[in-house]
């Protein structure tokens, strides 16, 4: 009877175990189905169904982890507007080409590679939040072109950044960008593990007995330099401590006759090869930059390579739409530069950049002006320059023929100007055209015609005013009006060839010479 009750109890226990297992399997299957429904609702964008599944799973206290697939992240590049500020609160806007799936750590590395700001000095602010390095840009709402982020640059002192550490990290990152393996060039403070010590040979019996003298004689002297920070003894060829990355003492020199071991020889060889590759890549980049410079020099206009805002019309210019001036590197749109040239009253067009503190003194080059204007506009610009040069030159003379565009620069010993445009001969002394008449005949005829001819009367009044002001004088021999254009006080009458002193208004030589106090002072008498 006792055995039968035990068998019955075991049977009931087995039945309960089977029932519990069945219920557990059914519950697990139901939870798995709810999880699949939740995934489908999230994938399809059904918020209501997703909320119902989440509530049911929460009531069942089911642990749940949601992971977003990489395919769900936007893969296209976007233009991120970044305001870069330093301790002086000076904001410089730049544009970065990023992807929303990028992490903040990747963004810091990109800024470090392109602009040279180490990640330790970068402090990003996105949407009034301080993002963590493992968080993506999409997590903080960066999804479209023109989204805004701010980069605050800390000082190297605040970031506890040393100059040598920065240089090593920058070189390492540049080598990685050039495709050179990191292990090929071990920087200072390499974290590569030290090689294990070679196995020792059989122990001497005297050493086994614990003789201190034998132990000291068996130890080989340590060769290398001791780290001043952690006291680790490094190999002589290592430039930095293997343990704490501290620099090798500057006064340390590799012992004479030291032979590096096999591992050091391999490292030194790889380092030399890496440096050769780096120098080759650097030289190739220099040649490419030189060829690009030659290509740009052959172009009339230098187009912008990045998206910028025109400082005149404030329009956003895509890459290739703006024009960068060669002399000052300011960038504008073509329409604003063209308007600046056409509205300029000077033959030398200055750069139109100006703000509250600075006005650019740079000028547009001739080939830039020619490329921005049409042929008709460029010819009009050249005519303006010629007109300004003529008006501002003391020794210039314009042909007196009506609507003639001929003009010249004259010297003191030249009295006539044969115009190459209208082929008329201009008298530079009378400032008129009097063909078939000499200067005296022209002036006599001018006085006769002055009574009835208004133009002749105006010319006569002009000559009289010049005589009264001292800008002209009567020849003491033939009495024609003569003028001194330039040079010393010795002049020669073009009619009678009399040599005249401009100071005394009389002959320079002969018995009629008259000396006044001004002339005496001039000659030192």
What DSSP assignment string belongs to 189-238? T--PPPPPPPPP-PPPHHHHTT-HHHHHHHSPPP-SEE-TTT--EE-TT-
Beta bridge mates, 500: 491, 507
For residue 104, give the nearest of 75, 86, 83, 129 by alpha carbon: 129
Distance CA 16, CA 519 (A): 142
Sign of CA pseudo-dihedral 74, 76, 81, 83: positive
**Number of other CB atoms surrounding residue 131 within 10 Å:** 19
The tokens for 148 are 């805004």
**Cα 401 to Cα 159: distance, rounded to the nearest angstrom:** 78
Longest Cα–Cα distance in the chain? 177
**Residue 316 is encoded by which pair of tokens?**
């956003």
At residue 455's C-alpha, the angle toward residues 454 and 460, to 5°, is 95
Dihedral in degrees, nearest 10, Cα atoms 66, 70, 76, 78: 50
Q: Which residues pair with 95 in a beta bridge?
A: 81
Q: Please, which residues have CB within 8 angstroms of residue 257's CB and are 6 or more apart in sequence? A: none
- Report d(CA 270, CA 147) in Å as an integer: 45
Q: Which of 422, 488, 493, 496 is catalytic?
A: 488
Burial tier of 404 (Cβ tally within 10 Å: 0-12, 13-18, 19+): middle
**Angstrom distances, CA of residue 299 to CA of 8, 132, 294, 323, 356:** 101, 46, 9, 12, 33
Task: List C-alpha distances in Å: 272 to 92, 159, 186, 255.
Answer: 40, 32, 10, 21
> Does residue 419 have an active-site annotation?
no
- Which residues have a Cβ under 8 Å from the Cβ of 415 and sit 6 or more positions away? 427, 428, 429, 494
Q: What is the three-class DSSP state of 79? A: strand
Task: Give catalytic residues, as residue numbers.
Answer: 488
């Amino acid at each position: 009877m006792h055995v039968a009750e035990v068998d019955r109890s075991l049977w009931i226990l087995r039945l309960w175990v089977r029932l519990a297992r069945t219920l557990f399997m059914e519950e697990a299957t139901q939870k798995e189905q709810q999880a699949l429904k939740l995934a489908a609702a999230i994938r399809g964008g059904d918020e209501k169904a997703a909320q119902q599944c989440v509530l049911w799973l929460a009531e069942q206290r089911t642990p749940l982890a949601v992971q977003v697939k990489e395919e769900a992240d936007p893969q296209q590049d976007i233009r991120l507007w970044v305001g870069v500020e330093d301790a002086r609160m000076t904001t410089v806007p730049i544009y970065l080409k990023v992807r929303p799936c990028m992490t903040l750590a990747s963004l810091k590395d990109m800024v470090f590679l392109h602009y040279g700001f180490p990640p330790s000095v970068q402090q990003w602010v996105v949407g009034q939040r301080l993002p963590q390095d493992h968080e993506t840009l999409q997590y903080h709402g960066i999804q479209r072109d023109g989204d805004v982020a701010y980069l605050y640059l800390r000082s190297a002192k605040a970031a506890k950044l040393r100059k040598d550490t920065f240089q090593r990290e920058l070189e390492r990152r540049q080598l990685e960008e050039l495709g050179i393996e990191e292990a090929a060039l071990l920087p200072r403070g390499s974290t590569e593990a030290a090689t294990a010590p070679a196995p020792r040979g059989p122990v001497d019996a005297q050493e086994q007995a614990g003789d201190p003298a034998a132990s000291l004689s068996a130890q080989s002297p340590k060769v290398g330099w001791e780290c001043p920070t952690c006291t680790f003894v490094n190999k002589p060829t290592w430039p930095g401590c293997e343990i704490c990355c501290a620099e090798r003492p500057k006064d340390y020199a590799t012992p004479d006759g030291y032979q590096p071991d096999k591992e050091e020889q391999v490292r030194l060889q790889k380092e030399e090869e890496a440096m050769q590759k780096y120098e080759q890549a650097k030289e190739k980049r220099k040649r490419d930059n030189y060829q690009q410079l030659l290509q740009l020099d052959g172009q009339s206009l230098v187009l912008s390579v990045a998206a910028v805002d025109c400082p005149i019309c404030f329009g956003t210019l895509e890459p290739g739409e703006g024009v960068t001036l060669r002399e000052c590197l300011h960038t504008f749109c073509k329409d604003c530069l063209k308007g600046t040239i056409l509205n300029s009253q000077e033959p030398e067009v200055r750069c139109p950049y100006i703000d509250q503190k600075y006005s650019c003194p740079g000028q547009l080059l001739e080939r830039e002006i020619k490329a921005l204007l049409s042929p008709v506009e460029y010819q009009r610009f050249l005519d303006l320059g010629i007109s300004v040069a003529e008006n501002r030159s003391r020794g210039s003379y314009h042909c007196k023929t009506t609507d003639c565009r001929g003009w010249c620069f004259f010297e003191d010993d030249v009295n006539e100007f044969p115009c190459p445009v209208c082929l008329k001969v201009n008298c530079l002394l009378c400032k008129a055209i009097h063909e078939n008449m000499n200067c005296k005949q022209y002036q006599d005829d001018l006085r006769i015609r002055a009574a009835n001819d208004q133009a002749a009367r105006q010319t006569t009044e002009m000559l009289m005013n010049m005589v009264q002001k001292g800008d002209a004088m009567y020849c003491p021999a033939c009495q024609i009006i003569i003028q001194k254009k330039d040079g010393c006080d010795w002049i020669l009458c073009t009619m009678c060839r009399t040599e005249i002193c401009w100071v005394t208004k009389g002959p320079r030589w002969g018995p009629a010479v008259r000396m006044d106090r001004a002339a005496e002072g001039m000659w030192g008498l």
